[in-house]
Amino acid sequence: MADLEKFRTEAHQWLFDNSPSSVRGLTLALGEGNWGGRKATYANPDMKHWLEVMAERGWTAPEWPIHYGGGGLSKAEAKILREEMARLKLPESLSGFGLTMIGPTLLEYGTEEQKREHLPKIVRGEIRWCQGYSEPGSGSDLASLQTRAVLQGDYYIINGQKVWTSYANLSDWMFLLVRTDPQAKKQEGITFILMDMSTPGVEVRPIKLISGSSPFCETFLTDVTVPAKNVVFKVNHGWTVAKALLNHERTMIAAAFGSGVGRRRTIRDWARDYVDFVGERVADAALRQRMVQYEMDNLAFKLTTDRARDAAKAGRLPGPESSMFKIYGTELNQRRQELLLSIAGPQALGWEGSGFEERELSLTRDWLRSRGNTIEGGTSEVQLNIIAKRVLGLPD
Amino acid sequence: MQLVLTEDQELLAKTAADFARAYAPVSRVRALRDAQEPVGFSRTLWKQMADLGWVGILIPEAYGGAGMGLADLAVVLEALGRTLAPEPFLSTVLLGGQVLTSAGSEAQKQAWLPGIIAGEKILTIAYQEIRSRYDLNRLTTTAERQGEGWLLSGKKIQVLDGYTADALIVSARTAGAANDADGITLFLVPQDTPGLKVTRQQRVDNRAVALVSLNGVKVGTEGLIGSLNGGLQVLSHVVDRATVGLCAEMLGGMSQIFDDTLAYLKTRQQFGVLIGTFQALQHRAARLFMEIELARSSVMAAARAADEGNPDFTSLVSLAKARCSDTFILAANEGIQMHGGIGMTDEHDVGFYLKRARAAEMTFGDAAWHRDRWARLHQY
């Protein structure tokens, strides 16, 4: 315990000495932070500097081993580091799929060569990663994917199409699932492979959504040549890797929605600007009831994520319950967006141009975008199947 | 706040679950109902629970109790809630015992707490009236000064274990206008006091409740609990704590009926297959699972908030009670629907859970009442 308190003091001092004062207290919306990569742009030069000092120390990936560029911290130390960063109001120095998804996956399944090649670049924010899973014909039924990889000598030749690849246009590498054995049962002929996006034959087109422009892309792969040594884990065993990674994704999505931590304006703040109050109470009893029901459900959900975290700390493993957090967290976000529409009324109908405030225009777009929350990362229906079968043990 | 059971609590939970399965199965609740005898619970079992130390969990060590917390008692109540055990935890431990522990005089504590801990004395609170619904301040029972003491008159309804209680703690107006928060006083009235009439009521969940009428019941100064006119504060706090205990019982009830329903989905066949293979039922079961998980988190948070003196305690009580009320009813309704016709028969246990779910919902405030209280606490 004394060591941990010593670490806290040192970490606090180091963070204080090395963080540019301009980034302290900087609030960044989802997607506005440092995502790294060759095409990176920075909110301001100090954010770039902040990434560099943190990467130098390995604290962009505090729990990864030092020899892969990480911080080599224990779970307890990493928690203290996060707490001290929060105390100094410091933003994340680096985000993205490299840190949250492919990095942990390589640590578990990668070869030594793959770890040495990729992990240090992720830590330093040099390479940005995207995920090539979904295909036009393979949404919820991901294992039916058709993108083919055929071995020729030391290389795979890949042909096919990926869809819903977030930020493919800004990413340098993609981790993707390809079919290497079309004769095998569908889950058994899939391989997990790493691909440089600058390889000839890779073409990326952004997708426009009902909410307007989006980070999603279609990625077309035509005779793309990828070294066979880029296969992660075993050929035809990519589904094992994919499932482990999907758990990371679900937990990430659940954390991003629902709990409402760090949200700048509560639904009550919004209500203050748009609806009548009688004293301290929202005058419209039906609207008030919806608001209170949402707030109470949100609180119960937050307590449940706290409980899962406490159970994990007490040594119990997180399991398929992540599906529950995915369903409930995304549905809460949709309820919140719809509630905000009801609160803002006709001012929530703006698309662009005059007569609408910037925040009102975001409200409209955010509401439309939120309809996708219960689809992406595995639909709610697929998550309910997972709970029914893997948690409740109901028969197939 | 750590939302995880300690090793001691896990052990206690296991002991209580084993006990409930061995000595207090649901078949016993059915037998108690069919016997139609007025006590409504088993004195022998109550004594055994006392011998296990459960009855004195909340009572300070100075009076022979364990001096433990609501989070500890909650795991016992959850286990007993699974088999709908009607033993008098609510009346004697959570209501009567807690009023005396928090506001009783030294003489009152000495006279009652050791007997409660031993499982020998039953104590309850008579607070609810025909028009009070869930507001503790809405009462018409009066206590008029007479010499050194008081004369109590009025009518109380659905007094938990009122028929068997050795004494009743009665809330009465001693000052102020109707519905005022001030001017309510608590009095300890022994069962044999002249002018006190206790009649057993038959309720849908078969819990032993009683109609209590007070016709000029004489209470001396030794019967005054806490301060004159300051009874509401004591009562509110005790009822909030008792609500957490009730929520733990409800959590047990909803968990058990959910388990029973799942087991049925895995054994019942229709159209040549197990009905648990139907996605329509799988998704409903999965949704119910999530609701029960959220209820569990809320109950654990409320119990720990009570023990840690957390300022959000009252708000968390309302969160837990609103959620447990809704979810227990949902679990029982879904239980009957998924069992189909057999679920409608008296022969099957699921109906006992539905009846208890409604009775528990309407004890200490239903979901709407608690949501409204939560709203006011959070300035909505």
Q: What is the pLDDT of residues A107-153, one digit of tens each?
A: 999 999 999 999 999 999 999 999 999 999 998 888 999 999 999 99
pLDDT of residue A317: 63
- H helix intervals, chain B: 7-23, 26-35, 43-51, 70-82, 97-103, 106-117, 231-265, 279-308, 313-339, 341-344, 350-361, 367-377
pLDDT, one tens digit per residue, over A183-200 is: 999 899 999 999 999 999
* Same domain flag for B205 and B99: no
Q: Do B378 and A295 make contact, defined as CB atoms within 8 angstroms? A: yes
Neighboring chain A residues of B276 at a CB cutoff of 8 Å: 394-395
* Same domain flag for B211 and B329: no
pTM: 0.88
- Residues of A engaging B, defined by a Cβ cutoff of 8 Å: 268, 280-282, 288-289, 291-293, 295-297, 299-301, 303-304, 306-307, 310-311, 313-314, 321, 324, 327-328, 381, 384-385, 387-389, 391-396
Neighboring chain B residues of A296 at a CB cutoff of 8 Å: 319, 322-323, 371, 374
pLDDT, one tens digit per residue, over A210-230 is: 999 899 999 999 999 999 999
Q: Which residue of B has its CA nearest to A291?
A: B380
For testing the chain B interface, which of A281, A306, A307, A382 should be mutated: the one with the most B CBs within 10 Å? A307
Nearest by CB to residue B380, choosing from A268, A311, A381, is A268
Nearest by CB to residue B297, choosing from A282, A307, A385, is A307
Interface size A-B, in CB pairs within 8 Å, comes to 108
Given a contact cutoff of 8 angstroms between Cβ atoms, the answer to whether A395 and B266 are in contact is yes
**A108 falls within a domain:** no
**A142 falls within a domain:** yes
Neighboring chain A residues of B294 at a CB cutoff of 8 Å: 297, 300-301, 303-304, 328
* Same domain flag for A168 and A230: yes
Burial class (CB in 10 A: 0-12, 13-18, 19+), B250: buried
Q: Which of B85, B120, B155 is the last residue of a domain?
A: B120
Distance of CA A338 to the CA centre of its chain: 23
The range of the structural domain enclosing residue B191 comes to 124-229
Is residue A253's pLDDT more than 80? no
**B1 falls within a domain:** no
pLDDT band (50, 70, 90) for residue A319:
low
Q: Which residue of B has its CA nearest to A311?
A: B4
* Same domain flag for B254 and B336: yes
Which tokens belong to A375?
A: 């689809």
The helix or strand, by DSSP H or E, that contains position B311, with its residue range, turns out to be none
A60: phi then psi, degrees, rounded to nearest 5:
-70, -30
**A322 falls within a domain:** yes
Neighboring chain B residues of A289 at a CB cutoff of 8 Å: 371
Q: Say which CATH number the domain at A141 has.
A: 2.40.110.10
Q: Do B283 and A384 make contact, defined as CB atoms within 8 angstroms? A: yes
Neighboring chain A residues of B261 at a CB cutoff of 8 Å: none
Helix B279-308 and helix B231-265, axial crossing angle in degrees, nearest 10: 150
* Same domain flag for B19 and B39: yes
- H helix intervals, A98-150: 103-109, 112-123
Taking residue A43's Cβ as centre, other Cβ atoms within 10 Å add up to 14
Q: Do B3 and A268 make contact, defined as CB atoms within 8 angstroms? A: no
- Distance, in Å, from the CA atom of A182 to the CA atom of A202, rounded to the nearest integer, reads 22
Dihedral sign for Cα atoms in the order A226, A231, A235, A240 = negative
* Same domain flag for A265 and A378: yes
* Same domain flag for B248 and B351: yes
pLDDT of residue A259: 45
CA distance B8 to chain A (A): 14
**A271 falls within a domain:** yes
Nearest to A158 by CA among A241, A248, A238, A249: A238
* Same domain flag for A230 and A268: no
Dihedral sign for Cα atoms in the order B214, B219, B223, B225 = positive
Point out the residues of chain B with pLDDT beneath 70. Answer: none
ipTM of the complex: 0.94
**A201 falls within a domain:** yes
- The residues that bridge with B15 in the sheet, in sequence order, are none
CA distance B374 to chain A (A): 8
Q: Do A385 and B279 make contact, defined as CB atoms within 8 angstroms? A: yes
- Farthest CA pair distance, chain B: 79
Beta strands of A49-179 (E only): which ranges? 129-132, 148-152, 155-166, 173-179
* Same domain flag for B259 and B322: yes
The residue whose two tokens read 């609408």 is: A356
CA distance B370 to chain A (A): 11
Contacts of B40 (CB under 8 A, 6+ apart): B32, B86, B161, B163, B164, B206, B207, B208
- How many residues in total does chain B contain? 380
DSSP annotation of A228 = G
pLDDT of residue A262: 47
* Same domain flag for A288 and A380: yes
Q: Say which CATH number the domain at B157 has.
A: 2.40.110.10
Nearest to B334 by CA among B275, B269, B278, B287: B287
Is residue A258's pLDDT more than 60? no
Nearest by CB to residue B294, choosing from A288, A300, A381, is A300
Contacts of A91 (CB under 8 A, 6+ apart): A23, A26, A27, A28, A33, A47, A50
**B303 falls within a domain:** yes
CA distance A270 to chain B (A): 13
Number of separate domains in chain A: 3
Given a contact cutoff of 8 angstroms between Cβ atoms, the answer to whether A321 and A350 are in contact is no
- Residue A249 a catalytic site member: yes
**A102 falls within a domain:** no
**A60 falls within a domain:** yes
CA distance B30 to chain A (A): 29
Nearest by CB to residue B290, choosing from A268, A313, A328, is A328
B298: phi then psi, degrees, rounded to nearest 5:
-65, -40
**A110 falls within a domain:** no
* Same domain flag for A326 and A377: yes
* Same domain flag for A273 and A379: yes
* Same domain flag for A308 and A362: yes
CA distance B283 to chain A (A): 6
pLDDT, one tens digit per residue, over B230-278 is: 999 999 999 999 999 999 999 999 999 999 999 999 999 999 999 999 9
* Same domain flag for A217 and A261: no
Query: Which is it for strands B196-201 and B209-219: parallel, antiparallel or unpaired?
Result: antiparallel
3-state SS, residue B181? coil
Q: Say which CATH number the domain at A76 has.
A: 1.10.540
pLDDT of residue A29: 63
Mean pLDDT of chain A: 91
- Residues of B engaging A, defined by a Cβ cutoff of 8 Å: 1-4, 262, 265-266, 274, 276-277, 279, 281-283, 285-287, 289-290, 293-298, 300-301, 319, 322-323, 371-372, 374-376, 378-380
* Same domain flag for B244 and B362: yes
Catalytic residue, candidates A77, A84, A249, A331: A249
Q: Do B266 and A393 make contact, defined as CB atoms within 8 angstroms? A: yes
Q: Which residue of B has its CA nearest to A306?
A: B3
* Same domain flag for B248 and B328: yes
Which tokens belong to A358?
A: 């910037």
Q: Rounded to a whole number, what is the distance in angstroms from the first to the last CA of chain B?
A: 26
- Distance, in Å, from the CA atom of B43 to the CA atom of B33, rounded to the nearest integer, reads 15
Q: Which residue of B has its CA nearest to A380?
A: B283
pLDDT, one tens digit per residue, over A62-114 is: 999 999 999 999 989 998 999 899 899 999 999 999 999 999 999 999 999 99
* Same domain flag for B251 and B364: yes
Q: Do A391 and B289 make contact, defined as CB atoms within 8 angstroms? A: yes
Given a contact cutoff of 8 angstroms between Cβ atoms, the answer to whether B100 and B109 are in contact is yes
Nearest by CB to residue B262, choosing from A306, A385, A392, is A392
Number of separate domains in chain B: 3
Q: Which residue of A has its CA nearest to B258?
A: A392
pLDDT, one tens digit per residue, over B187-196 is: 999 999 999 9
Dihedral sign for Cα atoms in the order B289, B290, B291, B294 = positive
Q: Do A384 and B375 make contact, defined as CB atoms within 8 angstroms? A: no
> What CA–CA distances, in Å, run from B71 to A39, B96, B247?
53, 19, 12
Buried b (16+ CB within 10 A) or exposed e, A182-209: eeeebbebbbbbbbebebeebebeeeee
The range of the structural domain enclosing residue A212 comes to 129-236
Q: Do A392 and B374 make contact, defined as CB atoms within 8 angstroms? A: no
Q: Do B262 and A303 make contact, defined as CB atoms within 8 angstroms? A: no
Q: Do B300 and A307 make contact, defined as CB atoms within 8 angstroms? A: yes
* Same domain flag for B245 and B363: yes
Q: Which residue of A has its CA nearest to B298?
A: A300
* Same domain flag for A273 and A232: no
Q: Do A387 and B290 make contact, defined as CB atoms within 8 angstroms? A: yes
**B2 falls within a domain:** no
pLDDT, one tens digit per residue, over A332-343 is: 999 999 999 999
* Same domain flag for B151 and B103: no
pLDDT of residue A179: 97
Taking residue A345's Cβ as centre, other Cβ atoms within 10 Å add up to 10
* Same domain flag for B360 and B263: yes
**B164 falls within a domain:** yes
Q: Which of B213, B229, B245 is the last residue of a domain?
A: B229
* Same domain flag for A312 and A353: yes
* Same domain flag for A264 and A145: no
pLDDT band (50, 70, 90) for residue A260:
very low
Q: Do A281 and B375 make contact, defined as CB atoms within 8 angstroms? A: yes
* Same domain flag for A230 and A291: no
pLDDT band (50, 70, 90) for residue A257:
low
**B214 falls within a domain:** yes
Q: Which of B176, B196, B229 is the last residue of a domain?
A: B229
Q: Say which CATH number the domain at A327 has.
A: 1.20.140.10
